[in-house]
Amino acid sequence: MFKNLTIRAVASLTSVVILLLVLLLYLIHINIPALGGARWLSIVILLGIAYVLIFYTMMFFLDKFIYRKIKVIYKVIHKSKVSTGKKIDSDENIIQNVEREVAEWAADQQRQIDTLKALETYRRDFVGNISHELKTPIFNIQGYLHTLLEGGLNDATINLKYLERAAANVERLQNIVQDLDTISKLESGAMILDITAFDIRMLVQEVLEHLEMQAAKKKILIGFKEGADKSFKVKADREAIRQVFINLISNAIKYGNPGGYVRVSFYDMHAYVLIEIADNGIGISEKHLPHLFDRFYRVEKSRSRAEGGTGLGLSIVKHIVEAHKQTINVRSTPQLGSTFGFTLEKA
């Protein structure tokens, strides 16, 4: 009953209680039967006047007292200054409102703290990862060049081989820088997408033909999933989506088992098309899935580097899909394979 009282209700109830106490004391003090009708009328009028005076006096002090306390709280939870002329609505549950706002402010502060901690961890990991990724090719190039400068240049058995290896590491550095530049543009919005309508199945067919030789080397069959290969027209940046398919299918081939498969499928979702790339390769354990799209994140570092790549492919895929205002997800089970899925808007 008294849980959600407003300032006006508190002042009113307090005034009534005080008046009842005064009236009780007065009636005890005098002889009740001796009171006449006129005397009762005078008492009622006086009580009414007293009630009004007590009520507004209490309202004044409660308003000043509560506003002063509330103002201190608002100074803490709001970045802007609270106007000194601000009035409190006495018909509102001020304490409950402030309690709610403070709880919301505390929750927001905690979210910001958690986000900052996550970003700091991400930044620290990113700096460590990028320095490691750059250090390896730079160290290799340095070793090959110093060997050549110290006499290897005149040795016909190693000079050309070392130059080729140095060139390969320079190319790897260039790929890392290009991929970082691509991610930076996607994150900042500097990369403008060229949205057009095109046949998604035709684009996938082009990518499959492009990667056919890579798949043949590992004896992996690549193609469309039977029964889910219907053609759809979608609205997207064709070249950006081509990069998505190249990265996903190429990864599926790299980490696939010899004699395995990679299958692309399409599913009608009314206004969208769900596209899935599935394989029966080595799979990914559950602990790695939340970080799979992080920059330079590698599930198996030694094997990943042996297979080539910059460690930025999946991060680029995620950014391209999100630039289309869509999402990408992954399902995977070790030794059974992985399925990457994302949506695109129909044309």
Average pLDDT over residues 37-44: 63
Pick from 53-57, 196-200, 315-319, 320-324 the range whose average pLDDT is largest: 196-200
> pLDDT-based confidence at 340, cuts 50/70/90?
very high
More confident residue, 232 or 116: 232
Q: How far is CA 219 from CA 154, 212, 213, 338, in A?
A: 42, 10, 9, 18
- Mention every residue, 6+ apart, whose C-beta is less than 8 A from residue 4: 93, 96
* Buried b or exposed e, range 246-277, using 16+ CB within 10 angstroms: bbbbbbbbbbbbeebbbbbbbeeeeebbebbb
Rounded Cα distance between 248 and 28, Å, is: 92
Q: In the prediction, which pLDDT does 82 show? A: 47
The pTM (predicted TM-score) of the whole model is: 0.59
CA 93 to chain CA centroid, Å, is 35
Q: In the prediction, which pLDDT does 78 show? A: 63
* Buried b or exposed e, range 217-243, using 16+ CB within 10 angstroms: eeebebebeeeeeeebebebbbebbbb
Q: How far is CA 94 from CA 102, 139, 321, in A?
A: 12, 66, 46
Domain ranges of the chain: 7-92, 121-188, 195-345
Q: In the prediction, which pLDDT does 46 show? A: 66
Rounded Cα distance between 288 and 51, Å, is: 71
Average pLDDT over residues 164-180: 84
What is the topology classification, in CATH, of domain 121-188? Helix Hairpins (1.10.287)
**DSSP labels, 272-328:** EEEEEEEE-SS---GGGGGGTTSTT--SSHHHHHHT---S-HHHHHHHHHHHTT--E
| DSSP for residue 177 | H
What is the domain class of 195-345 according to CATH?
A: alpha beta
Joined together, the tokens standing for residue 334 give: 């070790």
Q: In the prediction, which pLDDT does 232 show? A: 92
Rounded Cα distance between 255 and 160, Å, is: 32
More confident residue, 333 or 176: 333
Percent of the chain with pLDDT over 90: 25
Q: In the prediction, which pLDDT does 169 show? A: 86
3-state secondary structure 16-84: HHHHHHHHHHHHHHCCHHHCCHHHHHHHHHHHHHHHHHHHHHHHHHHHHHHHHHHHHHHHHHCCCCCCC
Q: In the prediction, which pLDDT does 87 show? A: 52
Q: What is the pLDDT of residues 49-100, one digit of tens each?
A: 767 777 776 766 666 666 666 666 666 666 545 444 445 555 555 666 677 7
Average pLDDT over residues 107-135: 73
More confident residue, 202 or 296: 202
Q: What is the dihedral of CA 45, 46, 47, 51, to 10 degrees?
A: 100
Average pLDDT over residues 320-339: 90
**Residue 210 confidence (pLDDT) above 70:** yes
Rounded Cα distance between 107 and 75, Å, is: 17
Lowest mean pLDDT among 83-87, 178-182, 259-263, 299-303: 83-87
Give the Cβ contact number of residue 293 at 10 Å. 19
Q: In the prediction, which pLDDT does 121 show? A: 67
Residues in the chain: 347
Average pLDDT over residues 99-121: 77
Look at residues 42, 105, 117 and name the one whose alpha carbon lies nearest to residue 77. 105
Give the Cβ contact number of residue 168 at 10 Å. 14
